[in-house]
Amino acid sequence: MVTDIISEIYGKKKANQVVISGLIASVFMLCVILVADSVNSTSWSAVDDTTFNQVFGLSGAAVFASMLAYLFAQFIDVRLFHFWKKLTKGKHLWLRNNASTIFSQCIDTFSVLFLLCYFGVIAWDKLGILFINGFLFKVFFAAFDTPFFYLASYLIRRYFGLKLGEELG
């Protein structure tokens, strides 16, 4: 929803910058978790090293698959959002919000699961059911966030004095 709002108000270039920023933030958090996982817990900590590693321990393949799928899917989302925006001449917010998000989340879900199967993190026979469950979960939230997308777009456009389909940058 965030990239769709940014796409709607600021345009494709800013939305793509936010995607890159999200990737950089993910890499930063990965580094923080790796450092935290590499040091021993204090004697008075309620969480021991084994528990911390079980909860926050990272599979290199899983992190790589997730970041690659995120980057690929978010760039597709921004591109499709603007495709629908141009096609509808700036109208039908619900269409560009949902169509771009649903398609990009299909790509995201399939990409990450395919890569996790390829790297042996998940068994191939689990791909189908995990894809269906993950994708349907994302579709539900894509539809659920539509009223919030409308509200945020309306308030921001009103604040900046923009007409429907008009962008700041």
Residue range 136-160, pLDDT digits in tens? 999 999 889 999 999 999 999 999 9
Contact 166, 90 (CB under 8 A): yes
**According to the model, what pLDDT value does residue 27 have?**
87
Measured between alpha carbons, how far is residue 144 from residues 91, 130, 141 in Å? Answer: 20, 21, 5
Residue type, 80: L
**Does some domain include residue 166?**
no
**Does some domain include residue 26?**
yes
**Does some domain include residue 167?**
no
Contact 9, 160 (CB under 8 A): yes
**According to the model, what pLDDT value does residue 106 have?**
95
Both tokens of residue 142? 């894509």
Residue type, 112: V
Which range of residues forms the domain containing residue 18? 2-160
Domain count along the chain: 1
**Does some domain include residue 76?**
yes
**Does some domain include residue 143?**
yes
**Does some domain include residue 165?**
no
Q: Which of 46-60, 107-121, 138-152 has the lowest mean pLDDT?
A: 46-60
